[in-house]
């Protein structure tokens, strides 16, 4: 780590001093190299995560799109010019210097792209620490950048939490994706240095289904949002509030959808044991497992709990597995919003209704960083993504991500 840090500090001033158009062209060329190696990268993503081919290919495509999106910003890091009382002032956006990026195992390539692209477009050098379970695509992505980025501008450092701690300790700015507990530990450890942090942490994400919603469409989006990637998704649907008048029909529709979702195993033994621990808990809720062939690995069948009370662990704690809770139904929308907002998390949420005016009213009152209406998990690179409360600080994606990796100087 120390050798990489020295190289990054040596390379960063030269990288920042290049023109924005040069950084743009380098990122575009990197995206093109990734596109040429699309099949190989999808192979590696499948190998290290076990996810279906379609999901692995989606990650590659998303990373290509993300690199190209932020390449377009590399020559557009504008400040402001102001004149008042014969005083001319300007603001400048400057790179922080060396940034440390730590990403999780659930979307290894995509999350790396989300952070690398804006950090490099802004003129920073980067130390990237992938999750210990999934380093392959990060290493391969760095190989593709060979000859496109100056030596020392990008280093990938696989390893355990100790490596991640060293990366963040040496950085001028850090961006982390992972559990809330780990994010809190990073904040405590960096408090003395006041290191600027972006933290994308956990969620217990609610969906509110109003009585005029299209039941089949809503059930399809909810099931996909809950069970895709084996539920290993920080913004996975995990608790659903349904109007009492359509509750039973909605539950039946979700059960029909569950067996249509293709996903792979959980990432490792620890995650497998954690999820099974929740499934073994005594609960007044009804459990409806969907039978699948036992793979002998870390595969967990999609499982639905219904009639879940608000206060039990199934309704309050992030499980990070293919488990969905439909909570006790509601009779008025106001109570559903109030119950949805009770969580200490505030990452993502969804609303389903045929009345868009009503849906937007509900969306405006949900205290989460991202809200979907009549869809779920659609995340274009131009929309900022970040949470509130215990779900994190700051944003990935969108123009806001450039702000995360630059410092504003007034002159």
Tokens of 317: 């704690």
- d(CA 391, CA 264) in angstroms, rounded, equals 25
Number of neighbours of residue 276 by Cβ within 10 angstroms: 13
- Integer-rounded Cα Rg, in Å, for the chain is 22
According to DSSP, residue 213 is labeled S
Instruction: Please give the Cα distance from 65 to 70 (Å, whole number).
Output: 9
Out of 45, 234, 257, 404, the active site residue is: 234
Three-class SS of residue 140? helix
Question: What are the residues whose beta carbons fall under 8 Å from the beta carbon of 304, sequence distance 6 or more?
Answer: 251, 254, 255, 258, 287, 288, 289, 324, 325, 326
Our answer to whether residue 235 is catalytic in this structure is no
* d(C-alpha 83, C-alpha 101), whole Å: 38
Using CA atoms of 121, 122, 124, 129 in order, give the dihedral in degrees to the nearest 10: -60
Q: How far is CA 208 from CA 238, 362, 363, 399, in A?
A: 11, 9, 9, 29
Which residue do the tokens 């907002």 mark? 341
Known catalytic residue at 22: no
> What CA–CA distance (Å, rounded) separates 34 from 110?
12
Strands (E), 285-410: 286-289, 303-308, 323-327, 345-346, 348-352, 370-373, 388-389, 392-393, 406-410
Q: Which stretches does DSSP call E strand in 181-231?
A: 197-200, 205-209
Q: Which of 45, 59, 66, 200 is catalytic?
A: 200
Report the C-alpha gap between 209 and 206 in whole angstroms. Answer: 10
Q: Are 394 and 386 in contact (CB under 8 A)?
A: yes
Neighbours of 293 (CB within 10 A): 7
User: Which residues are catalytic, by number?
Assistant: 200, 234
């Amino acid at each position: 780590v120390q050798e990489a840090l020295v190289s990054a500090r040596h390379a960063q001033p030269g990288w920042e001093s290049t023109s924005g158009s040069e950084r743009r062209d380098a990122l575009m060329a990197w995206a093109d190299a990734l596109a040429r190696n699309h099949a190989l990268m999808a192979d590696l993503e499948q190998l290290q995560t076990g996810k279906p081919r379609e999901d692995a290919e989606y990650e590659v495509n998303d990373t290509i799109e993300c690199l190209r999106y932020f390449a377009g910003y590399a020559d557009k890091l504008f400040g402001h010019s102001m004149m008042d009382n014969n005083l001319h002032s300007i603001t400048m956006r400057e790179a922080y210097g060396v940034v440390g990026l730590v990403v999780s195992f659930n979307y290894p390539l995509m999350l790396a792209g989300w952070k690398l692209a804006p950090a490099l477009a802004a003129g920073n050098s980067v130390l990237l620490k992938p999750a210990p379970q999934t380093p392959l695509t990060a290493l391969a992505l760095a190989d593709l950048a060979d000859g496109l980025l100056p030596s020392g501008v990008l280093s990938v450092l696989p390893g355990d939490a100790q490596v991640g701690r060293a990366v963040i300790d040496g950085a001028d700015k850090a961006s982390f994706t992972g559990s809330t507990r780990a994010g809190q530990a990073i904040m405590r450890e960096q408090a003395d240095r006041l290191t600027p942090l972006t933290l994308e942490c956990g969620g217990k994400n609610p969906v509110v289904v109003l009585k005029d919603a299209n039941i089949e469409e809503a059930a399809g989006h909810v099931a996909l949002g809950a069970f895709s990637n084996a539920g290993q998704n920080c913004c996975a649907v995990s608790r659903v509030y349904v109007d009492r008048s359509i509750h039973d029909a909605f539950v039946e529709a979700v059960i029909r959808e569950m067996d249509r979702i293709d996903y792979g195993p959980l990432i490792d033994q620890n995650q497998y044991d954690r999820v099974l621990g929740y499934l073994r808990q005594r609960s007044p809720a009804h459990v409806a497992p969907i039978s699948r062939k036992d793979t002998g690995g870390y595969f967990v069948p999609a499982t639905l709990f219904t009639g879940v009370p608000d206060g039990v662990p199934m309704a309050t704690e992030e499980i990070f597995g293919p488990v969905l809770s439909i909570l006790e139904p509601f009779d008025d929308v106001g109570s559903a919003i109030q119950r949805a907002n009770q969580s200490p998390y505030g990452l993502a949420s969804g609303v389903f209704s045929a009345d868009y005016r009503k849906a937007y009213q509900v969306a405006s009152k949900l205290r989460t960083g991202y809200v979907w209406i009549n869809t779920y998990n659609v995340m274009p690179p131009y929309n900022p993504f970040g949470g509130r409360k215990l779900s994190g600080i700051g944003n990935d994606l969108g123009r806001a991500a450039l702000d995360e990796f630059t410092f504003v100087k007034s002159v």
